[in-house]
Amino acid sequence: MKRIQDATSVNETFILLKERLRNTVPEAELYYKAELAYEINRIKKEKNAVILGHNYMEPALYHSIPDHVGDSLGLSRISAESRADRIVFCGVRFMAETAKILNPDRMVLLPARVAGCSLAASITAEDVRNLKARYPGVPVVTYINTYADVKAETDVCCTSSNAVDIVNKLDEDVVICLPDEFLARNVARETGKKVIMKSDGLNGNGKEDSMIVWDGKCEVHEKFTVSDIESVRRQFPDTVVMAHPECPPEVVEASDYSGSTTAMVDFVASSESKRFLLLTECSMSDNIQAENPDKEMLGLCSVRCPHMNEITLEDTLVCLQEDKYQIEIEESIRLKAKKSLDRMLEMS
């Protein structure tokens, strides 16, 4: 099937979008979306830009303009290899910052002025410096959902898809794992490590296998509960439940599968099962549904990521037309942050 990105007119963009999204987006909206998408794709080629789209983008955007879609790890890898003059990041700020850290000579653009993340907002570089002073010599593993100055204080970054692997590969018995308490608890369960909260009193380098964790939370995933799962299972007993590792540990434990956003996309595509509950940002259910019309995706859509939802086709068009908003990172911070990302890319 022809890629929507390669359509040669608004009409062709509309026809291809309709084929893909007829059960997901009302047709009345699709011609307008096709006009925006066609213009974005035209300017993208003119300006030698590449568009990277996170799996949480709304269906019309996700299916029409990105050259690559994926999770945080996949998009970091792609941005590190990009040769385009401009990288437009349809995702949140920490993702665009990651692309800039890896590509200082390229213009990296975020279509929204803010597009934050509650995890990235939960910790500062000074918080990390204080932890390092309290636990000297203990390696710091930091989730990619953080800003550049926090990454600059970090030994190695991780994402939802490689956190267990990275923690397992470190030789040390004790690690500092920041800033997502639930991701850290989920990693602790899989690695057999004990969790020490920031307020607990471990002195110096403990000898036991443990992880010193922060109390940051994802404002979306923290809201899912075991009773959500039980209620859906009562109504549809054949449902396969998938939970992102940013969900509370009891929710991950009550689920059938947990993985990064791309791991969940792949899981549905390769599964024989027919009905799935996705405990993550709801747009991803729609995106998977559009690609797997023979499966039924259930999502709890009252819980949305307001930051990811700031990225629209309208603003992406303005972003490309006006080269805004450009990501800038102070060089001394960028160089230090890059080390922690390079180490992650080498280790995973």
Positions touching ligand 13P (CB under 6 A) are: 55, 71-72, 145, 159-160, 218, 244, 246, 260-261
Nearer to ligand SF4, 117 or 329 (CB): 117
How far is Cα 300 from Cα 335, in angstroms, rounded to an integer?
40
* Least gap, CB of 124 to ligand 13P (angstroms): 19
b or e along 308-346 (b: 16 or more beta carbons within 10 Å of the residue's beta carbon)?
bbbbbbebbbebbeeeebebebeeebbebbbbbbebbee
* Least gap, CB of 77 to ligand SF4 (angstroms): 19
Phi and psi for 266 in degrees, rounded to 5?
-65, -35
20 binds, among ligand SF4, ligand 13P, none (CB under 5 to 8 A by kind): none
How far is Cα 76 from Cα 160, in angstroms, rounded to an integer?
13
Nearer to ligand 13P, 7 or 156 (CB): 156
Query: Closest by alpha carbon to 61, among 26, 37, 79, 92?
Result: 37
Nearer to ligand SF4, 145 or 262 (CB): 145
* Least gap, CB of 143 to ligand 13P (angstroms): 9
* Least gap, CB of 125 to ligand SF4 (angstroms): 18
* Least gap, CB of 153 to ligand SF4 (angstroms): 20
Nearer to ligand SF4, 153 or 180 (CB): 180
* Least gap, CB of 276 to ligand 13P (angstroms): 16
Distance of CA 168 to the CA centre of its chain: 22
How far is Cα 174 from Cα 210, in angstroms, rounded to an integer?
5
Residues at the site binding ligand SF4, with contacts judged by CB under 6 A: 92, 117-119, 145, 218-220, 246, 281, 305, 307-308
Nearer to ligand SF4, 5 or 146 (CB): 146
260 binds, among ligand SF4, ligand 13P, none (CB under 5 to 8 A by kind): ligand 13P
Q: Where are the alpha helices (DSSP H) in the chain?
A: 10-21, 27-46, 59-64, 72-81, 93-102, 125-134, 148-151, 163-169, 181-191, 226-235, 249-254, 261-270, 283-291, 313-322, 331-347
Nearer to ligand SF4, 281 or 315 (CB): 281
160 binds, among ligand 13P, ligand SF4, none (CB under 5 to 8 A by kind): ligand 13P
